[in-house]
Amino acid sequence: MSLVILSDTKGNLIEAHQLRLEMPLLGTWTAHLETTADTAIDGNVVITIQHGDEAAERFVGTVVDGEPYEGRAPLVVVGGTEGLSKRPAKASYYVGANSAIEVAQLVGDVLVEADEVPSDATALSGLRASAWARLETESHARALTRIAERFDIGWRVFASGAVWAGPVEWLDADLEGEELDVDTDARIVSIRYRVASARPGTTIGGRRISLVVFTADGLGELHYEAM
């Protein structure tokens, strides 16, 4: 059993007895929690997941739905500031000198408009576009996905809340926990984690991880890509 604590900017510490935190390869992470709080929780929060004396993992996000209902307090939290779900006030069109717009500029402008924090690990040097269009009908998250799809890169929100974009490198990583079962048809590894440190975009046990799920009972899932 893991301890899941939600802390907000008012200094409240609330224990969650249910959690399903999903971190996809592309896009922001989301967490569905249930707490015993009897007041609405909103704004920036930190979800801390700790198993016994093991290291705690902290996920910095924003509550997008947190109204108590009939003695229950279901919560939905997204990574970062929630700015990625918003749309730009107006469309924009980029034309670079000598047909070269830095993709880093495209990503940077999206994050500035979304009021999100870019990750220092963002690595986009050398990627350029001849022109680029952004429509006001598409969210900032969709704009990042457009860039990722076009240039075959990834983007996601780190546990820290910072937004990263760059080539997916599939670096080897350890599972701080144990494998319980492998469903080769669905390509899902069931795990029991000690530390919620598994991340998409890494290679764990020879498998390329595309989605990580953590639950409050210390169990989780690693979804992996077909090799």
Partner 1 sequence: MSERDDFAAALASVAKADPFAVVYRATVVVQHADGSVDLRLDGTSLQPRNVRLDVGIPGCRVIVDPGALVRLAFEGGTPDGAYAFGIPLDVGASRGLVAVGDLGTAGSFAAVGVALGAPIVFTYFPPGDLPSTGPPGTVVTLVTKATNGSAKVMIR
Query: Which segments of the chain does DSSP mark as H helices, in order?
Result: 103-114, 140-151
User: Could you say whether residue 150 binds partner 1 (CB under 8 A)?
Assistant: yes
By the rule CB under 8 A, 17 interacts with partner 1: no
Over its C-alpha atoms, the chain yields an Rg (Å, rounded) of 19
- Pattern of binders to partner 1 over 86-115, x per CB under 8 A? ----xxxx-x--------------------
Q: Which of residues 32-91 bind partner 1 (CB under 8 A)?
A: 90-91
Under the binding rule (CB under 8 A), the answer on residue 137 touching partner 1 is yes
180 binds partner 1 (CB under 8 A): no
| C-alpha of 20 from chain center | 13
Among 64, 112, 121, 131, indicate the residue that binds partner 1 (CB under 8 A): 131
Q: Collapse the DSSP code of 159 into the 3-class scheme (helix H, G, I; strand E, B; otherwise coil) and give the result.
A: coil
Residue 129 engages partner 1 in binding (rule: CB under 8 A): yes
Q: Rounded to whole angstroms, how far apart are CA atoms 160 and 198?
A: 14
- Tell me if 140 contacts partner 1 by CB under 8 A: no
d(CA 75, CA 66): 4
Between vectors from CA 77 to CA 74 and to CA 148, what angle results, nearest 5°? 145
Report in angstroms how near the CB of residue 144 gets to partner 1 at its nearest. 12
From 26-34, 136-144, 192-200, 217-225, span contacting partner 1 (CB under 8 A): 136-144
